[in-house]
Amino acid sequence: MNLTNKVVWITGASSGIGEALAHEFAKEGAKLVLSARRLEELERVKRELSLPENAVMTLPIDMLRPEEFAAKTQSVLAHFGRIDVLVPNAGVSQREKFLDIAPADFKRLMDTNFTNLVLLTREVLPHLLAQKSGGILVTSSVSGKIGTSFRTFYSASKHAIQGFFDSLRGEVWQEGVQVTIVCPGYIKTNISYNAIGKDGKPFGKMDENQAKGIPADVCARKMIAAFKAGKREVVIAGFMETLGTYLKRFAPALLWQFTKNYSIKSVDQ
């Protein structure tokens, strides 16, 4: 897919992988819609892109307010006239045990990472189908394939993304709409700082593995390359995480031996 002048809508665009994606899509010549909750951070990203004013739109969005998604979609269409690529990337992680997370907090996580992400997709998809072109580049996770302790709801949300978008692909590919699922491993972002921790508060520190993770710009380039190549799915992770995805399929008992204490150590640091 040639991305020149394509309209790309990125959620979670104010930091991390989303911010890196904005820079990489800009290099591809795309027109961008940048969405996240913090307008000031979106405007910062917009300035740093150095794109023409008419090539970037900042559109604050709260993934916990799905009642606004239809109006937000219409704002994009009014501004650019079309949407070519949806990049549902916004999300929140977890660093706490299942029984120590309040129901309101795990509902917030599931709504942000899965339910409301799907509802936003529902608003955009009819326009892609009408155009018979474009696609969805969705951020899942290696946690969408491998469940580990202290990641119960995060892993559940990413497993749900895998199932939903694999199924959706089967419904839309004949209409010219591409669905690419990306499964990042540890990427060097602030996701662990903002993860749901004790009493629903942010975890507030960097995982050791996160700090050693793949740079966000490298991840973003690989995501876009996979999308342009028409891939259905890509794992972007270190050797051990990638190996884990194969062990999950072919040697799950061995994977269990490797992972049964893995996340406990990272949280207890």
Catalytic residues: 154
**Which residues sit opposite 234 in a β-bridge?**
182
Q: Of 114, 235, 116, 225, nearest to 163 (Cα)? A: 114
- 254 to 147, 186, 243: CA distances (angstroms): 14, 21, 11
- 171: tokens are 């419904």
Residue with tokens 């009493």: 199
**Which residues sit opposite 10 in a β-bridge?**
34, 87
Q: Which residues make Cβ contacts (< 8 Å) with residue 37, sequence separation at least 6?
A: 14, 60, 61, 62
| 198 class by beta-carbon count within 10 Å (0-12 exposed, 13-18 middle, 19+ buried) | middle
Contact 110, 152 (CB under 8 A): no
